Amino acid sequence: MGLSSAIAWMNLSPILNPKFRAPGRGRNRILFLATAFATIHPTLSPHHPCHRHYHSHYSPVRCLFPTPMANFSSAVSPRRRLRGVVFDMDGTLTVPVIDFAAMYKSVLGHDEHDRIRAQNPSGIDILHIIQNWAPDKQRRAYEVIADFERQGLDRLRIMPGAAELCAFLDSKKIRTGLITRNIKEAVDLFHQRFGRTFYPALSREFGSYKPNPAPLLHICSSWDVLPNEVIMVGDSLRDDVGCGKQAGAFTCLLDETGRYNPADYANLDLEPDFKVSSLDEVRHLLDAEFDLAP
């Protein structure tokens, strides 16, 4: 649908009339026009220049206004209810310190690692790979993985912005949970260092692990909320976004370094609802996009 057709379809054609004068003055007039044009944003072609900005900025009208407008999204459409936030731990609430590439090579061997990596450009799911190994081989693999994870405990640091984000959620009485593929020992130390407890906090010992949606669905059930009233926040497209999408929750990809680009979203099942570069952005995003109602 072309732009003019979309405007006509939305009954917005009067704003194109040269004699039309938007109500209000100054900023209010700008907001009126922005609201009108933002309403047709979903009808734009994926190749439209506005569409390129949708996932790199949380504001759906970033292409019209380079500077975000406070509470603008609420003027465009009703805000969705959000009752809980579930976080990944490593690389999301904590600064990434585990050398996963070295871990995988230690478990698989260099040649096997390179072969599997070439077949899985989105990343290696080491826990899934070793799941069907012989018991002795599997036990040794888990020992190697746990050793890398324990080394990471000595260097565990809280991610900048995590305390402020959680304080904001606490002030809104929004539930906070945690899902990690790490061990319970790491979760316990994280809670101790952070000075607060996430509940439920599901570690690898839960049995099912991301991207399997079972942990997230378990948390939703324990909270007595619907999956579409929850958002999954994490730094892994495959594990965190995959888990959230399969559960039916909103998803937010934390990409601090810009390692994910639009080509990574070729599999639409893994396309995040939001993409941010810091936890500070998550706080502003939740406040702007959702009705935070416990």
Q: Is the pLDDT of residue 68 over 70?
A: no
Whether residue 183 is found in the same domain as residue 283: yes
Q: Decide if 39 is inside a domain.
A: no
Q: Decide if 44 is inside a domain.
A: no
The region that residue 290 occupies, defined by phi over 0 for left and psi between -120 and 50 for alpha, beta otherwise, is: beta
Number of domains in the chain: 2
pLDDT in tens, 37-63: 333 343 333 333 333 333 434 433 233
Question: Looking at residues 226-233, what average pLDDT do you find?
Answer: 98
Q: Decide if 51 is inside a domain.
A: no
Tell me which residue range forms the domain holding 110. 98-155
Q: Is the pLDDT of residue 1 over 70?
A: no
Whether residue 265 is found in the same domain as residue 210: yes
Catalytic residue among 90, 125, 240, 273: 90
Q: Kindly report the CATH number assigned to the domain that includes residue 228.
A: 3.40.50.1000
Catalytic residue among 88, 125, 240, 264: 88
Lowest mean pLDDT among 21-30, 178-187, 261-270: 21-30
Question: Looking at residues 240-248, what average pLDDT do you find?
Answer: 96
Whether residue 174 is found in the same domain as residue 266: yes
Q: Decide if 111 is inside a domain.
A: yes
- Residue 207 has what pLDDT? 86
Q: Decide if 218 is inside a domain.
A: yes
88 is catalytic: yes
Whether residue 180 is found in the same domain as residue 223: yes
Whether residue 198 is found in the same domain as residue 141: no
90 is catalytic: yes
Highest mean pLDDT among 40-44, 130-134, 258-262: 130-134
- Residue 12 has what pLDDT? 40
Whether residue 146 is found in the same domain as residue 232: no
Whether residue 167 is found in the same domain as residue 237: yes
What span, in angstroms and rounded, lies between the C-alpha atoms of 132 and 121? Answer: 22
Whether residue 254 is found in the same domain as residue 210: yes
